[in-house]
Amino acid sequence: MLINNDTIIKDSNELIRRKSADVSLPLSEEDKTLLMEMLQYVDESTIEEIAKEKNLRPAVGISAIQVGVPKKMTAVIIKDEEGNKICEYALVNPKIISNSVEKACLSSGEGCLSVVEEHEGLVYRSARIKVKAYDAIRDENIIIKADGYLAIVLQHELDHFKGILFYDHINKDDPYHKEADAQIID
């Protein structure tokens, strides 16, 4: 499947709000291929020359619904400033099994491959989470203990499984409302 900025489903398409279904394990070849193509998109999207050539918008994650497949699969890669991978996941049926009461948000707000228009405001999420999932890269069930930026990214991607977009979390009356004791991540 060709995945680029033209083929990613945008928020104007009602499919983006569709709930995703669990995926059967072991993965079918079709599901594994799609998940690896999603992972490749995320990896290449932050390499300027490749991104320009293939029409990719920079991303740290993508969920299957964003390419029109309502299945609980997501690919996440977080890199440092030099482009080295800090973490990389190709998750199937990820589920948050615990989360902190403490909240966190990105100081710059969030963005999404499926959202073209800018939506300013703070998106509060749990500061720490534990996610249980099958990881196709490692070919095993894993538990991810995430905090800070990774926790926010994972929650953003898992929201896609419920048809929720980041701007649904923004306070409509006061987009930059500061929650007491919330962690602000630069």
pLDDT over threshold 90, residue 1: no
Catalytic center residues: 157
HEC secondary structure over 114-182: CCCCCCCCCCCEECEEEEEEEECCCCEEEEEEEEHHHHHHHHHHHHHCCCCCHHHHCCCCCCCCCCCCC
Average pLDDT over residues 5-12: 97
pLDDT tens-digit series, residues 38-68? 999 999 999 999 999 999 999 999 999 999 9
User: Residue 79 is which amino acid?
Assistant: K
CA neighbours closer than 13 Å in the CB half-sphere of residue 82: 2
pLDDT for 32 equals: 98
Alpha helices (runs of H) in 10-102, residue ranges in sequence order: 29-45, 48-54
Residue 61 three-state SS: strand
Domains of the chain: 14-185 (3.90.45.10)
Distances (CA, A) of 41 to 8, 13, 144: 11, 21, 22
